[in-house]
Amino acid sequence: MRTALVTGSAGFIGFFTAQALMRAGWRVVGLDAMTDYYDVTLKERRRAMLRQAPDYIDIEARLETSGTLLDLFRTHRFEAVIHLAAQAGVRHSIEAPRSYMKANLVGTLELLEAARAFPPLHMLLASTSSAYGANTVMPYVETDKTDHQMSFYAATKKAMENMAHSYSHLYGLPITMFRFFTVYGPWGRPDMAHFKFTKSILNGDPIDVYNHGQMQRDFTYINDLTAAILELVDVAPGETPVEGDSLSPVAPHRIVNIGNGAPVQLMDFISAIETACDREAIKNFHDMQPGDVPSTYADVSLLNRLIGQRPNTPIQEGINAFVKWYRDYHRL
């Protein structure tokens, strides 16, 4: 049985990724610090479900604690490492930048050092669409220049990409960097827009709509995302690029967008939630928030060339599934 490390396993994406790996026959070592950036009860519920699986090993620890990851790598000799643990949130990075430095940079350094000592066959590290920053030409392509991040969160993720590239070059570590595009779905993070909108609409409270609704996002349903991750585990970067590849010329290091490839207007997204909730939102319109960008749109051509075409869940279908989960979870 193959063994994978999933960091951030009690988080939204980590939880679904760990489940997908185990369904595919992997043993999963899940590491999570159980931080209180959002309601820890939600993380505990996710972790409790993972712990029920016989092929799941649960570790509660911080990435940045020296020696923790080295001991794990020594013990388990992972074939795959999927690094999803991070301090998330664009706006929170304005308020608490040091937490991003510790988790996203120091934590990733500890991971890379452990991998240098005990190399896995493939490392897959989560970056973000926010790395594209001030770029205005869309759709975003992995080979675009990305020098102007708009938030400290995005800056730490871009720095992670560069750190990973240096280790890939120096030590021959095969590394794939994911750039995720606005992931949503059941068991999602409470700080995400779909969670906040649904809660407010069902409670009859107003919702805040930024940039006066003139925004669009490439919303990616969680099951589509994890299906892509699972396929990419067995597509480690090598020496031979594919058409339009982002493969480094000096290292087995590749950047891959994972998105829906079809952006949705914010007002249409809100309309989908209104439909699923069967009630209209009370909308308060505001200017753009600091650090945010008006649009994201992924070119997923490289992803499709690497793993083939994959399902793209329509926005109403995905929102319906989320709202059903939300009502069930909160017994509404």
Q: Helix count (H) and strand count (E) of the chain?
A: 12, 13
- Tokens 């107003």 sit at which residue? 206
3-state secondary structure of 45: helix
Q: Which segments within 3-133 are labelled E, that is strand?
A: 3-7, 27-32, 56-60, 80-83, 122-128
Q: What is the per-residue burial (b if ≥16 Cβ within 10 Å, else e) of 13-51?
A: bbbbbbbbbbeeebbbbbbbbebebbeeebbeebbeebe
C-beta of residue 174 within 8 angstroms of C-beta of residue 232: no
Contacts of residue 281, Cβ cutoff 8 Å, sequence gap at least 6: 197, 200, 201, 206, 207, 270, 273, 274
Query: How many whole angstroms from its chain centre is CA 270?
Result: 22
Beta pairing, strands 56-60 & 27-32? parallel
Query: How many whole angstroms from its chain centre is CA 198?
Result: 21
- Calpha distance 257→182 (Å, rounded): 11
Q: What is the per-residue burial (b if ≥16 Cβ within 10 Å, else e) of 310-327?
A: eeebebeebbebbbeebe
Cβ atoms within 10 Å of 62's Cβ, excluding its own: 18
- Tokens 């990075």 sit at which residue? 93
- Calpha distance 182→271 (Å, rounded): 17
Catalytic residues: 153
Q: Is the dihedral of CA 108, 114, 119, 122 positive or negative?
A: negative
